[in-house]
């Protein structure tokens, strides 16, 4: 079940009326309307949360309420149930007639670096003579704070950023010449911890409301020139894209699996007792202005080194407080094989191996007009999930 925020009409004051919806095939079930019609009346919850422009207030109601709402929605949508047939036109909106919005109000955004194959690839490119991983990598989920204000919903065009960078040994200023995507998953925090009170690793998953696909656009030339000694800034903060749809964390349960053996054994505050990885397939596709959409990478969430619980435990171990709606992104999730890399930096090996596209063109980095789509899905015999796509087209 995917939750999001949509609008398809305007309120009395002329502004769009944003409210909570659930994706149902190509339709959106309007939870505000369902609630107004009384279908949630006996649940004893504050139904005004469905009329809000972000999911935060719904998230704040907590997991028992989420489960009750979910069960009610499932009952209403059962094919043999006649419950909502009479109000079908009221409660459903076709996705093509709706506008989708950023699903949460994001207080803070953190980007991890938990994809070990990505970290190793970056190390091999930029420190060819040393260990591809820095000494701290296997001891902690390395992360940095990103910019929350410039996170946009899937479908928003991405303007190529201007910035300064070194080109052939000379300082240049202009549009980035190495604009890249990053294939990531974002965790949406569902519960806050008080300042100064770390979240134990074994409780950490209960702080996740859901997951979303996340594209941390990166201007590699800008980033390379600016990042010493304090990390990425303008190379990242022009925009990040996230899916309009959030998958509740519980929906990942059928796909849970053990992660890689962590050696050296991490410090106790990072030791988990249950498997914390997930077998969720990822795909990146590219559509050029003149060409068709083509898949350029297939990866999997299981390639993360650090799991979600470890990220949350590490983030808070010094006392940092998380809030509902905060986004913790995983960092680029690259697989082992070259066709599973989660960025063009890796796919083109720092621009030295252009990738060929069916329209006859090649790419090292993104050109204006290129549209990138990230997708995620998982299947077992009994379950199928699909995360919302996250797309973005590069503008000059």
Q: Provide the phi-psi class of 261: left if phi over 0, else alpha when psi is between -120 and 50, else beta.
A: beta
223 is in an annotated binding site: yes
216 is in an annotated binding site: yes
- Taking the least distance from each CB to a second copy, the nearer of 6 and 113 is 113
Structure tokens of 101? 């919005």
Rg (CA), the chain: 21
332 is in an annotated binding site: yes
- Taking the least distance from each CB to a second copy, the nearer of 7 and 237 is 237
Structure tokens of 276? 């914390």
227 is in an annotated binding site: yes
**Burial class, 352, CB count within 10 angstroms (exposed 0-12 / middle 13-18 / buried 19+):** exposed
Write out the residues near a second copy by the rule CB under 8 A: 107-108, 113, 122, 134, 136, 139-140, 142-150, 152, 159, 161-164, 171, 173, 176, 195-196, 198, 219, 222, 225-234, 237-239, 267-269, 314-315, 317-323, 326
Residue found under tokens 């369902």: 34
Minimum CB distance to a second copy, residue 121 (Å):
13
Q: How many CA atoms lie within 13 A of 245 on its CB side?
A: 23
Minimum CB distance to a second copy, residue 225 (Å):
6
Minimum CB distance to a second copy, residue 9 (Å):
25
**Cα separation of 383 and 389, whole Å?**
19
Minimum CB distance to a second copy, residue 168 (Å):
15
- Taking the least distance from each CB to a second copy, the nearer of 1 and 222 is 222
- Taking the least distance from each CB to a second copy, the nearer of 117 and 147 is 147
207 is in an annotated binding site: no
Structure tokens of 37? 């019609």
236 is in an annotated binding site: yes
- Taking the least distance from each CB to a second copy, the nearer of 61 and 317 is 317
32 is in an annotated binding site: no
Q: What is the DSSP string of 206-249?
A: GGEEEEEEEE--EEHHHHHHH-TTT--STTTTT-EEE-SEEEEG
Minimum CB distance to a second copy, residue 167 (Å):
13
- Taking the least distance from each CB to a second copy, the nearer of 196 and 275 is 196
Count of beta carbons in the 10 Å neighbourhood of residue 120:
18
Minimum CB distance to a second copy, residue 174 (Å):
10
CA nearest neighbour of 34 among 74, 80, 67 = 74
CA nearest neighbour of 183 among 331, 40, 316, 76 = 331
Please pick, among 118, 277, 314, 315, the residue that the annotation labels catalytic.
Answer: 118
Residue 28, strand partner residues: 23, 93
Is 101 annotated as catalytic?
no
**Cα separation of 172 and 210, whole Å?**
42
Longest dimension (CA), the chain: 70
Catalytic residues: 118
Per the annotation, binding residues are 111, 113, 127, 182, 184, 216, 223, 227, 236, 240, 332
Per the annotation, binding residues for Mg(2+) are 216, 236, 240
Per the annotation, binding residues for Ca(2+) are 111, 182, 184, 216
């Amino acid at each position: 079940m995917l939750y999001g925020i949509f609008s398809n009409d305007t309120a009395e004051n002329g502004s769009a009326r944003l409210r909570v919806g659930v994706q149902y095939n190509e339709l959106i079930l309007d939870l505000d309307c369902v609630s107004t019609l009384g279908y949630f009346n006996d649940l004893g919850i504050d139904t005004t949360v469905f009329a809000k422009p972000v999911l935060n207030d719904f998230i704040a109601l907590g997991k028992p309420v989420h489960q009750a709402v979910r069960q009610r929605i499932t009952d209403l949508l059962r094919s043999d149930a006649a419950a909502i047939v009479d109000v079908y036109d009221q409660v459903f909106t076709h996705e093509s007639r709706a506008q989708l919005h950023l699903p949460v109000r994001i207080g803070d955004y953190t980007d991890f670096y938990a994809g070990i194959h990505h970290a190793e690839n970056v190390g091999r490119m930029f420190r060819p003579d040393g260990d591809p991983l820095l000494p701290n990598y296997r001891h902690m989920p390395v992360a940095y704070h990103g910019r929350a204000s410039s996170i946009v919903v899937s479908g928003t065009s991405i303007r190529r950023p201007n910035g300064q960078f070194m080109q052939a040994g000379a300082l240049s200023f202009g549009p980035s010449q190495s604009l890249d995507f990053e294939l990531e998953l974002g965790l949406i925090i569902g519960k806050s911890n008080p300042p100064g009170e770390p979240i134990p690793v074994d409780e950490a998953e209960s702080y996740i409301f859901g997951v979303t696909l996340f594209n941390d656009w990166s201007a590699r030339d800008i980033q390379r020139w600016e990042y010493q000694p304090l990390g990425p800034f303008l190379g990242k903060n022009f925009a990040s894209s996230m899916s309009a749809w959030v998958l509740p964390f519980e929906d990942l349960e059928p796909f849970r699996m053990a992660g890689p053996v962590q050696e050296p054994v991490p410090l106790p505050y990072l030791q988990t007792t249950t498997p914390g990885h997930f077998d969720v397939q990822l795909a990146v596709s590219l559509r050029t202005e003149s060409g068709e959409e083509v898949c350029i990478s297939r990866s999997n969430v299981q390639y993360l080194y650090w799991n979600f619980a470890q990220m949350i435990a590490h983030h808070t171990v010094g006392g940092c407080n998380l809030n509902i709606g905060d986004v913790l992104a995983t960092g680029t999730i690259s697989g082992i094989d070259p066709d599973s890399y989660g960025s063009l930096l890796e796919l083109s090996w720092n621009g030295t191996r252009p990738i060929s596209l069916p329209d006859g063109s090649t790419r090292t980095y993104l050109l204006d007009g290129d549209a990138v789509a990230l997708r995620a899905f998982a299947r077992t015999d009994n379950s199928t999930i699909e995360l919302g796509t996250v797309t973005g087209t590069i503008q000059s």
